[in-house]
């Protein structure tokens, strides 16, 4: 199959666009998608400071690389969550990439800096590891972004992630989540930084191709806690649909954003936001969950 743009030999076929690209034209397509998404949803511009959430996986590494190459003012942020070898390996990958490419990187280690252990907390609070981990990540990314004067926090969520999340939310009619599902989550409080997803129209496969072409090192392993997650099943189901009918995932997301989402706007929870009495970050309770985690961990070490 020939490249649709230059007619040279195509090396990647994107069925949903009924198009093949050579390596060079794929990079042109990829860059245009990212730039279009940023512009269409007014995510940020070249003057803004953007904090990029980095896990070390292909999606976040691709995002960091493309934004830096396009001249955006980006800083990577990596959190060591204390997940055994997975955390050690991913930190190495991220630090070595930042060093080789002269990129700014902020690293937080929840055990060393705050004495937090997601496994202990999950047992004490009878909450899943992912739920504890998710709360810690959301808190730290926002806090670092707010304290550092960043205009946006960018994540590497791709089309497969977004379609799987949407399917999960539709299956149980999670109206509140459906109201919030968007490539841009605007700030609802002066201390909450806007969240953006510049890769939401690109698939996992396209991100993989991007990192391979650019020889970007990334961690191939998934977090061990992701195994068996419901979202993986939804991705498999959507892949099956995509095989039979290319373009399903993209139609699902774009038509939801254009036609479906507005019907859920009233379901947006009007939570009363306040500032945590310990750290001053935004919460709905007297003390935020992060400060409660820190207190609980310290009490537990003392006992
Ligand atoms: Fe945290 Fe791993 Fe769960 Fe993701 S899959 S929320 S990184 S524990
Ligand atoms: Zn707090």
pLDDT digits (tens, 9 = 90+) for 62-76: 999 999 999 999 999
What is the number of the ligand 1 atom nearest to the C-alpha of 55? 7
Please check if 6 is assigned to a binding site. yes
| 153 phi/psi in degrees, rounded to 5 | -110, 120
Rounded to 5 degrees, φ, ψ at 71 are 85, 15
Ligand 1 neighbourhood includes 232 CB (under 6 angstroms): no
Has residue 303 got a pLDDT over 80? no
Helix and strand counts by DSSP (H, E) for the chain: 12, 10
Residue 226 Cα to ligand 1 midpoint, Å, equals: 6
What integer pLDDT is reported at residue 270 of this predicted model?
A: 75
Domain 36-273 grouped into CATH 3.40.50.620: yes
Ligand 1, atom 7, residue with closest C-alpha: 223
Mean pLDDT of 294-302: 81
pLDDT at 301 over 70: no
pLDDT in tens, 99-135: 999 999 999 999 999 999 999 999 999 999 999 999 9
User: Does residue 130 line the site of ligand 1, with CB under 6 A?
Assistant: yes
- List the domain boundaries for the chain: 36-273
Helices (H), the chain: 23-40, 58-69, 84-101, 110-114, 118-125, 129-147, 159-171, 175-180, 204-213, 230-244, 248-255, 289-302
CB 52 within 8 A of CB 67: yes
216-240 tens-digit pLDDT: 999 999 999 987 788 999 999 999 9
């Amino acid at each position: 199959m020939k490249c649709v743009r230059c007619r040279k030999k195509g090396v990647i076929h994107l069925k949903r666009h009924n198009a093949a690209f050579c390596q060079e034209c794929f990079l042109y397509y990829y860059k245009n998608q990212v730039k279009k998404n940023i512009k269409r949803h007014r995510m940020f511009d070249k003057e803004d400071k953007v904090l990029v959430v980095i896990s070390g996986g292909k999606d976040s590494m691709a995002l960091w690389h493309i934004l830096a190459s396009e001249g955006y003012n980006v800083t990577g942020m990596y959190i060591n969550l204390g997940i055994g070898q997975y955390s050690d390996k991913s930190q190495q990958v991220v630090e070595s990439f930042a060093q080789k490419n002269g990129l700014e990187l902020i690293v937080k280690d929840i055990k060393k800096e705050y004495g937090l252990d997601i496994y202990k907390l999950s047992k004490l609070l009878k909450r899943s590891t992912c739920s504890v981990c998710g709360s810690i990540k959301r808190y730290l990314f926002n806090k670092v972004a707010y304290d550092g004067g960043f205009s946006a926090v960018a994540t590497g969520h791709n089309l497969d992630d977004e379609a799987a999340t949407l399917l999960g939310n539709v299956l149980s009619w999670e109206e509140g989540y459906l109201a919030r599902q968007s490539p841009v989550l605007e700030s609802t409080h002066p201390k909450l930084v806007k969240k953006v997803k510049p890769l939401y129209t690109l698939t996992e496969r396209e991100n993989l191709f991007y990192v391979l072409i650019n020889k970007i090192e990334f961690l191939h392993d998934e977090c061990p806690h992701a195994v068996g997650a419901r979202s993986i099943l939804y991705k498999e189901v959507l892949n099956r649909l995509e095989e039979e009918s290319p373009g399903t995932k993209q139609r699902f997301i774009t038509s939801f954003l254009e036609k479906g989402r507005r019907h859920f706007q009233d379901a947006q929870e009007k939570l009363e936001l306040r500032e945590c009495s310990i750290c001053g970050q935004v919460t709905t309770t007297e003390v935020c969950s992060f400060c409660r985690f820190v207190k609980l961990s310290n009490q537990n070490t003392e006992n």
